[in-house]
A and B are shown apart, each in its own frame.
Chain A
């Protein structure tokens, strides 16, 4: 076991994938000598060469589009999109090509492409640097979408993503890059928890609280605060956003009877809506109250002096827990 930051853990996972499979190629803007703007690829070009760790021109559609060609040729490209808000120029290549190639070719052409996306807010960045675009991609069949919440998962799940024969969007919570955690670098990739499985972070019996990526830590903190008030919150880290491990969420909700979902992304059409609807369909009779969503607002990501109001924090999540429990909360007395 070693103590690594989130960013170093991804770096170690990338290194291991580069070592284990000569077909793995990293591509992106500034990922070589600079090591990426967040230093996630630090030292990899030096050790693996410019052909394995490719500094590309500044063109997101081309980064993904050429990865499609490389995948055609049998490579396993790992593309870095520098910031969440820069993924949109590549959107067409991701949803029209990467996602559909396997279906289009009746399974003859595989697209084992991993797309790393530093995402989410909380670091005081300007516009286009703090977005949570995951729902665009969970809505597109053919893509697998995952988000990591801790260094150990960051380390194993990047390797699982690269080893997957399907395309994977790997969302990295950039405000957690410097968080440290224990990482077992000897962990066997295939006995480690699959990237498709959700994980119970802390067990509880009164409310199920679902989170992913950057908000898993916030949700855990909220659960600890709730326990001080005698409320037992079960926190679930989704890990996989497409497909969502609904059986895991369902099992928890059957036990607690209450569901709170939190994410940074805007509420309307977001993953919270999908989870609330799917869980309601699957276990309506077990629910004691309507599912509650604690999310970012339906606004463009705000300027940094206001982002703390936009991002769900511990108190807003607790307010949501109160709502699910029918306790006094900020919306008490409001009809509908």
Chain B
């Protein structure tokens, strides 16, 4: 597994691309370090940022991506079987989420969208906690302060402001941690994302915006969201940006490290566009065959992020039977535990309805809770005294 230490070591390297010293690079070419065929592409600027990644860590990235894809598949199956009310699959976005998620330091704070389960996994969120809200057992599954990741945001783009505000707090505290907002291409149409960039640039706060351009906002294609490359939008706010192949885990790791480093050194916000593809539906409630061409999916399947890393590992002779067996065993185990956890998840108690609306008692809610509990109590013993 990649650790914070690995990231720290990389900071000692000269800082090409965007850095505290050189903040002006915007948009531009797609950063790529692994080709769709799995060949390692050498890049003088970005290689330095992943030069510390060992063979073992490459295998660990492969395991992360495989496991998160397996969690995604299992959750989708659980939804189809009626165990979850809904699920937003991340199929195809494993590299953009694992590459960025593994670049983070423990004390960085993430504000994710509902689809960023891979990022949450990197933060140590238990797989079962990823599905708690989708089963309808809670509004959210985990303690944000335990994992330094906010609960998943459903309102599109809202969390970009929360991350910016959190970064204002980091700046005020004089800390060198970073707030990171994850959102999709559709969110860039929302006013909140623009307002977040205005505030981030105005106050030069340590925030990284990671836009996973997965090409579709439910059924709306990115081309009707933006007439320019999304990464280029940031320059209008005075925020440098990078455009990275979001299906290339090494490239995503590199650019995220660059942006984090820049933020830690007081260089201010950075915008990353990770160009990827949502291979499944928006959620299990929609049907992408109604709105997109099968050929498009086929084209992107050829760029599959896991197959790509797997090919690289094979070329490097790292994809041993032992590695593959270990990876699959881990994925099997996680999926098995997830399924058992979901099926055995106890229902919440009725009066939990009223808990945590306020942090201090509220006379209106106390009264309603009291009345409803009396109503529920009126059923106790009704079977014995049942009129019928």
Contact = CB atoms under 8 A, between A and B. Distances in A.
Interface of A: 25, 51, 54, 56-57, 59, 61-62, 64-75, 77, 89, 92-93, 96-97, 100, 102-110, 141-142, 144, 164-166, 196, 242-247
Contact of B164 (A66, A110, A144, A247): A66
27 contacts: A57-B199, A57-B202, A59-B199, A61-B195, A65-B164, A65-B192, A66-B165, A68-B161, A69-B166, A70-B166, A72-B109, A72-B150, A73-B173, A74-B169, A93-B161, A96-B155, A104-B140, A105-B140, A105-B143, A107-B359, A109-B151, A142-B358, A144-B358, A165-B359, A166-B359, A242-B364, A243-B363
A51 B170 CA distance: 12
Contacts of A89: 191
A97 B169 contact: no
B244 interface: no
A67 B165 contact: yes
Nearest to B352: A106
B191 A61 contact: yes
B161 A61 contact: yes
Nearest to B358: A166
A69 B202 contact: no
B158 A92 contact: yes
A89 B355 CA distance: 29
Given A62-B199, A65-B195, A246-B363, A107 B356 contact: yes
A67 B168 CA distance: 9
B169 A70 contact: yes
B168 to A, nearest CB: 6
Given A51-B172, A68-B162, A243 B364 contact: yes
B166 A57 contact: no
Given A69-B179, A72-B150, A102-B357, A62 B363 contact: no
A70 B173 CA distance: 11
A57, A105, A166 interface centre (most CB from chain B within 10 Å)? A105
A170 to B, nearest CB: 16
B365 A164 contact: no
Interface string B69-104: 000000000000000000000000000000000000
Nearest to A22: B172
A65 B158 CA distance: 7
Contacts of B173: 73
Contacts of A243: 362-365
A175 B109 CA distance: 43
A65 B359 contact: no
Given A68-B161, A102-B357, A62 B169 contact: no
A10 B153 CA distance: 35
B139 interface: yes
A247 B198 CA distance: 47
Contact of A72 (B139, B140, B155, B162): B162
Interface string B95-134: 0000000000000010100000000000000000000000
B168 A57 contact: no
Interface string B235-271: 0000000000000000000000000000000000000
B145 A108 contact: yes
Interface string B178-209: 01000000000001100110110010000000
Contacts of A105: 139-140, 143-144, 151, 356
Given A104-B139, A106-B356, A97 B158 contact: yes
A247 B138 CA distance: 33
B360 interface: yes
Contacts of B172: 25, 51, 75
Given A65-B161, A67-B165, A72-B166, A165 B199 contact: no
A106 B139 contact: yes
Contacts of B109: 72-73
Contacts of B192: 61-62, 65, 92-93
Contact of A141 (B160, B359, B363, B365): B365
Contacts of A245: 363
Contacts of A73: 109, 165-166, 169-170, 173
Interface centre among A64, A66, A93, A104 (most CB of B within 10 A): A66
Contacts of B168: 54, 66, 69-70
A199 B191 CA distance: 42
B337 to A, nearest CB: 22
A106 B140 contact: yes
B167 interface: yes
B163 interface: yes
Contacts of A104: 139-140, 151
A105 B168 CA distance: 22
A56 to B, nearest CB: 7
Given A66-B165, A68-B165, A69-B164, A107 B360 contact: no
Nearest to A166: B358
Contacts of B160: 65
A72 B172 CA distance: 14
B355 to A, nearest CB: 7
B112 to A, nearest CB: 13
B144 A109 contact: yes
A138 B345 CA distance: 35
A106 B138 contact: yes
A62 B356 contact: no
Contacts of B144: 72, 105, 108-109
A298 B94 CA distance: 53
